[in-house]
């Protein structure tokens, strides 16, 4: 069985120009902290924020959280300096917005290699334009350094001239393409943000929808969204109980030399066993993170 990816149930954006937010992030229970040098930072503050973020993550004070820096996009005046700074930092990953092709992924990987970035530095990319969703599988399969696709629903809605509505009907086809592409490439995929931080019920409904579609987690804009995201994208008590039953039945059947497995009257196949093993391994990784190990 392939190694279990670390949990990415909740990925909270932290504005790179806000020292208080960067400090607060050290105590927040998000799986991933996304230090933002793009949308959250105005042009005059880009350079200072870049320095502040790289200094902040130079210590191990954010452990066991995963630290990823969202830089400015390809073609912007800040992109090259951002990429170079993160390549030499202690970040776990660098998130590049508006990536639209496998060719762009190849170019980013080549640049990271030229900058001497350690192999442990993962490339994350945002898919947020109509073209990028049609190229999701190509993007996800372009490089082993690429670890995750992050959906940008706000930009997508804008490009489609659509509306933000409950249920997200205008973008559901694109969300499906993102999950299909990520899975075809063997990569993690995170759902987009929910904009109204006062609508807890709306957030839960959208997060549940993302979980049902197959997303690994959700990007967040406020700490109040962390708890619900961790709950909804983590294995439920029922999922864990069912997974334990299936794995136990599989082990008993193997010991007895039989290939016929039933659990609660349901026939169990190899795919059910593999998924149950994945769920249990994910739960173990979550437990390790929450204990700080």
SS (H, E, C) the chain: CCCCCCCCCEEEEEECCCHHHHHHHHHCCCCEEEEECCCCCCHHHHHHHHHHHHHHCCCCCCCCCEEEEECCCCCCCCHHHHHHHHHCCCCCEEEECCCCCHHHHHHHHHHHHHCCCCCCCEEEEEECCHHHHHCHHHHHCCCCCEEEEEECHHHHHHHHCCCCCCCCHHHHHHHHHHHHHHHHCCCEEEECCCCCCCCHHHHHHHHHHHHHHCCCEEEECCHHHHHHHHHHHCCCHHHHHHHHHHHHHHHHHHHHCCCCCEECCEECCHHHHHHHHHHHHHHHHHHHHHHCC
Of 182 and 285, the one with more pLDDT: 182
Q: What is the pLDDT of residues 47-96, one digit of tens each?
A: 999 999 999 999 888 988 999 999 999 999 999 999 999 999 999 999 99
Min mean pLDDT across 205-214, 239-248, 257-266 is at 257-266
Min mean pLDDT across 5-9, 135-139, 143-147, 212-216 is at 5-9
CA distance 46 to 274: 45
Query: What's residue 141's pLDDT?
Result: 98
Of 169 and 274, the one with more pLDDT: 169
Query: What's residue 268's pLDDT?
Result: 80
Q: What are the sequence ranges of the domains in the chain?
A: 10-233, 237-291
Q: What is the arithmetic mean of pLDDT over 21-36?
A: 95
Q: What is the pLDDT of residues 157-166, one digit of tens each?
A: 999 999 999 9
Query: What's residue 38's pLDDT?
Result: 94
Query: What's residue 165's pLDDT?
Result: 96
Residue position matching structure tokens 């390790």: 288
Query: What's residue 1's pLDDT?
Result: 43
Query: What's residue 243's pLDDT?
Result: 84
Q: What is the CATH number of domain 10-233?
A: 3.20.20.60
CA atoms lying within 13 Å on the CB side of residue 152: 24
Query: What's residue 267's pLDDT?
Result: 81
């Amino acid at each position: 069985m392939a190694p279990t990816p670390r949990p990415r149930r909740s990925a909270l954006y932290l504005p790179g120009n806000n020292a208080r937010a960067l400090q607060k992030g050290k105590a927040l229970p998000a799986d991933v902290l996304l230090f933002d040098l793009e949308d959250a930072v105005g042009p005059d503050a880009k350079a200072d924020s870049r320095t502040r973020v790289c200094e902040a993550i130079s210590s191990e004070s954010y452990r066991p959280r995963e630290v990823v820096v969202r830089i400015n996009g390809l073609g912007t005046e800040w992109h090259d300096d951002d990429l170079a700074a993160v390549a030499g930092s202690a970040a776990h990953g660098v998130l590049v917005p508006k990536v639209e092709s496998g060719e762009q992924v190849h170019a980013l990987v080549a640049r990271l290699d030229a900058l001497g970035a350690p192999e442990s530095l993962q490339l994350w990319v945002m898919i947020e334009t109509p073209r990028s969703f049609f190229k999701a599988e190509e993007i996800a399969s372009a490089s082993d350094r690429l670890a995750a696709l992050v959906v940008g629903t706000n930009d997508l809605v804008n490009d489609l001239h659509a509306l933000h509505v409950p249920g997200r009907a205008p973008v559901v086809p694109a969300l499906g393409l993102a999950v299909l592409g990520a899975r075809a490439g063997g990569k993690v995929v995170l759902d987009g943000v929910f904009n109204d931080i006062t609508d807890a019920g709306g957030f839960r409904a959208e997060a549940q929808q993302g979980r049902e579609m197959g997303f690994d987690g959700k990007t967040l804009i406020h700490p109040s969204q962390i708890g619900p995201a961790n709950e909804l994208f983590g294995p439920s008590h029922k999922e864990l109980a069912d997974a334990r039953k299936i794995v136990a039945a599989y082990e008993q059947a193997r010991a007895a030399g039989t290939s016929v497995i039933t659990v609660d009257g349901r026939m169990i196949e190899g795919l059910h066993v593999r998924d149950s093993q994945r769920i249990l391994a994910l739960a173990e990784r979550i437990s390790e993170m929450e204990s700080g190990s």
